[in-house]
Amino acid sequence: MSSSLNIHAIVNSFEAIQIPKKVKVFDADFKEVTSFWLKNRESESIELDPGMYVITLVLPSGKEIEQVVKVDSQAEYNMEFDLSKISPHENHEWAHMSKRVTTSSKVNLNDTKYLGSWIRLWHLRNNQWTVKKLDITDSTSWDEDGVSYTFRINQELQFLQVGGPKIPWRFIALPPAQELKCLIKPNDGPTKIVHPLEITVTTENWEAETILTLLGNNANEKAQDLYEQTSLKEVSAEELLYGKIRNPSAAAIGAYYLLRLEKFDRLHDWAKNLANWKAWLPDGSVLWAWQLIKEGRKSGSMDLNEVRSRLLQAVDRGIPIYTEGLKLLLEGLKLLKYTNREDEEVKNALLKVSTYAEAANWNSTVTMFNGEHPEIPSKKSRKGIPRDTNNLAYIYDVPVKAMIDMTDLTQNDIIEMTTDTNESARFKVAEEGMFESEEGRKYKSLYKAANQLKQSKINLRNINIKSPNIDLEAEIRKFRKGDKY
């Protein structure tokens, strides 16, 4: 007689409940007995015959957790997979579960190299790239281990740019979403090889994002397994059929999946409609061109003129949002150049896209590249503060000089910091744009000054300001949300 096994995933956040998790059950001979996706719920009950079993829970990030259970006849068992410690912060949990994110770092955002690091948003409109104000929601959380942003992103081509005095400038594509999540955290490794900031982006369509991650890891079978069990195919197909693409990023991911697995019977005019109806989205043009290429290879008849037109259209529209699209665009242009080496327009387009490819981070699911302007990618990017600081937002620590220049903080103001353990220190605003302690030590930022108290974490609410002219906590929040420039 069979028994019941109740499998529970313990998580901290609502987002973590929604993220799909693959559960696989193996018998004593390591043969797979059953498997299923745990999504939009915390637990699942299955029936098993008596015996020994290995239960494996696999996260989209690739992390696997195994447990063993001995099942007797007509009994009920509970098995818990505790995922609550997978992230140092509840607000970072979504990234550690859904993407490949380093679990810990030897440095934090208080480190000197991150002082004055910033973000700003570029968008393409009327073939012109300009900076616009970021819509940073109140659900964003700032921690020294990383900042978990929530942005509102309109349906247009937009790239987030990060940089700093010691941070190479880098661009990250932002898919349109009512609530787009972005984690920016310190990154370990030599700076000549690894960018100092690790940046992870996702929409809240967790099924589509998981499929995208699996495709990026070349886990096509897992992607297919999940796709067949989700509503993504029905929703996207219906939207494209009736011309109401409410979620173009999910539609693009679905099309990338169908193209990768060459499921042309399901793809139909999906990619073509995406290309025609969302002119701001280069991915649609790339997808339609590659559907024509792959179908042409199978049938022996390829419309190279249409392929050429669509790939050049993608280049004209900007750069694909997804890394998969950038890769296909590069390969498609190389194919066209091979078929006609005298085509100057194709050669110029290939040269342009190749510069993005050389500056790209191919490990990211969204397009990511170094550069100082969206149209000027560079393998070796510049550092510093932009001349035009309009719509600039500081990531974490704000230089004292910026606070003096942009707030009512003035020279000789006295700031007293007090911790929960009643440690305290007094600092004077010195003329060099620094905080000066009573012992004469000088600091370029609030958090560097706070380290004098030998407290591992200093929260802004622990700091008293002995200046009637400024609410330091409120001012720093304005700098972080981009409300000061």
Cα torsion 438, 442, 444, 448 to 10°: value is -60
Name residue 461's amino acid.
R
Quick one: pLDDT band at residue 219, thresholds 50, 70, 90?
Answer: confident
Range of the domain at 287: 206-375
361-400: pLDDT as tens digits: 999 999 999 999 999 999 888 999 999 999 999 999 888 8
Residues 164 and 220 in one domain: no
Rounded Cα gap, residues 389 and 202, in angstroms: 27
Residue 390 covered by a domain = no
If you ran DSSP here, which 8-state letter would residue 191 be given? T
Residues 240 and 345 in one domain: yes
Residue 389 covered by a domain = no
Residues 255 and 330 in one domain: yes
If you ran DSSP here, which 8-state letter would residue 290 be given? H
Residue corresponding to tokens 């000066």: 436
Residues 248 and 370 in one domain: yes
Residue corresponding to tokens 């081509």: 157
Residue 380 covered by a domain = no
User: So what's the pLDDT on residue 269?
Assistant: 85
Where a domain ends, among 82, 113, 137?
82
Where a domain ends, among 164, 180, 202?
202
Asked if residue 134 lies in contact with residue 172, where contact means CB atoms within 8 angstroms, the answer is no
User: So what's the pLDDT on residue 236?
Assistant: 55
- Give the predicted TM-score (pTM) of the model: 0.91
User: So what's the pLDDT on residue 21?
Assistant: 94
Residues 75 and 106 in one domain: no
Residues 70 and 106 in one domain: no
Residue 386 covered by a domain = no
Where a domain ends, among 19, 52, 82?
82
User: So what's the pLDDT on residue 240?
Assistant: 47
pLDDT surpasses 80 at 456: no
Segment 451-471 mean pLDDT: 58
Quick one: pLDDT band at residue 401, thresholds 50, 70, 90?
Answer: confident
Residues 343 and 453 in one domain: no
User: So what's the pLDDT on residue 406?
Assistant: 87
Number of domains within the chain: 4
Residues 15 and 48 in one domain: yes
Residues 108 and 196 in one domain: yes
Residues 231 and 342 in one domain: yes
Rounded Cα gap, residues 289 and 345, in angstroms: 17
Range name among 177-191, 209-223, 308-322, 447-461 with the lowest pLDDT average: 447-461
Range name among 92-106, 112-126, 158-172 with the lowest pLDDT average: 92-106
